[in-house]
Amino acid sequence: MIEFIHVFKRYPGGFDALRDINLRIEAGEMAFITGHSGAGKSTLLRLITAIERPTRGEAAVNSKNLTKLPRRRIPWFRREIGVVFQDHKLLFDRTVYDNVALPLIVTGTDDKEIPKRVRAALEMVGLLDKERMLPVTLSGGEQQRVGIARAVVNKPPLLLADEPTGNLDSTLSDEILDLFLDFHHHGVTVLIATHDLHLIDRARRRVIELNHGELARDTGAKT
Ligand SMILES: Nc1ncnc2c1ncn2[C@@H]1O[C@H](COP(=O)(O)OP(=O)(O)OP(=O)(O)O)[C@@H](O)[C@H]1O
């Protein structure tokens, strides 16, 4: 699903955020990316979603070569990737239903399909009874679950999360982890960038650690 070969990312100004990253993540795997603040975790996710391009090296996601992907193909490429953010990025003047429906509307899903798909996603995260509420009336954990429903409503084969439990206490974090484990058990490839060692310990999955832009540890690397 993801393959990086000798990937470097240098930001304008000359800072090397990633250096010589070699990484292979199979379809259906679940892995955590960890490392100190500034280690390059978000940069790695930005390369995977084609927000940034590698400066050197070869990178492929879902069989698409990211170094060669034409700009006009990027929206199509991104339909295959669900992204969960620490701060949810919900629209606060729209209901839970509308927030989750948004990716379907953007991708031109048939109107008749939309309610079915939105409710299936809300059911997966246990929020079916909150579809008419505004996000501001929900707890932090519930808001994060709306963000997850929105990320999976298009049924992407790849789910990325950047500090998804950053603002949550440990009980709520465990609930969010259980959701990610569920998606993983249903065959979705899941990649989570986090500082949360409790989360990583509990999940018992592959850990990829970055240190100053270099791969310091990969418990799942094949030799
Ligand atoms: N657009 C940019 N231009 C220049 N430098 C950047 C840019 N984005 C990130 N950096 C630098 O690249 C390095 C890696 O940043 P990145 O956001 O990937 O780290 P991170 O591991 O996700 O950190 P955190 O845990 O604090 O979010 C940092 O030193 C950061 O200052």
Interface pTM, i.e. ipTM: 0.95
Our count of domains for the chain comes to 1
Q: List, in order, residues 6 or more apart from 136 with CB less than 8 Å away.
A: 92
- 103, part of any domain: yes
Structural domain boundaries, residue 146: 81-153
Q: What are 84's strand-pairing partners?
A: 161
Cα 100–106–107 angle (5° rounding)? 105
3-state secondary structure (DSSP) of residue 56: strand
User: Which atom number of ligand 1 is nearest to the Cα of residue 44?
Assistant: 18
| Residues 94/131, Cβ–Cβ less than 8 Å | no
- The mean pLDDT of 30-48, rounded to a whole number, is 96
Over range 209-221, report the average pLDDT.
94
- The per-residue pLDDT for 161 is 95
Distance CA 220, CA 181 (A): 17
Containing 82, the helix (H) or strand (E) segment is strand 81-85
13 ligand 1 Cβ < 6 A: yes
- Is 90 among the domain residues? yes
Decide if 215 contacts 21 (C-beta within 8 A). yes
Distance CA 88, CA 136 (A): 12
Rounded-to-integer distance, Cα 209 and Cα 41, Å: 9
Q: Whose CA is nearest to atom 29 of ligand 1?
A: 38
Is 66 a domain residue?
no
- pLDDT classification of 30: cutoffs 50, 70, 90: very high
- Report yes or no on 102 lying in a domain: yes
Task: Report whether residue 39 contacts ligand 1, using a CB cutoff of 6 Å.
Answer: yes
Instruction: Tell me the mean pLDDT in the region 6-10.
Output: 97
Question: Please, which residues bridge with residue 136 across strands?
Answer: none
Cα separation, 119 vs 125, whole angstroms? 10
Q: Report whether residue 37 contacts ligand 1, using a CB cutoff of 6 Å.
A: yes
Q: Which atom of ligand 1 is nearest to the CA of 52?
A: 1
Amino acid at 162: D
Is 168's C-beta closer than 6 angstroms to any atom of ligand 1? no
User: Residue 223: is its pLDDT beyond 60?
Assistant: no
Q: Is 144 among the domain residues?
A: yes
C-alpha 184/C-alpha 136 separation (Å) is: 29
Give per-residue pLDDT as tens, 62-116. Answer: 999 999 999 999 998 999 999 998 888 899 999 999 999 999 999 899 999 999 9
CA of 142 to the centre of ligand 1 (A): 28
Whether residue 120 lies inside any domain: the answer is: yes
Q: Is residue 107 part of a domain?
A: yes
**Inside any domain, residue 159:** no
The model carries a pTM of 0.93
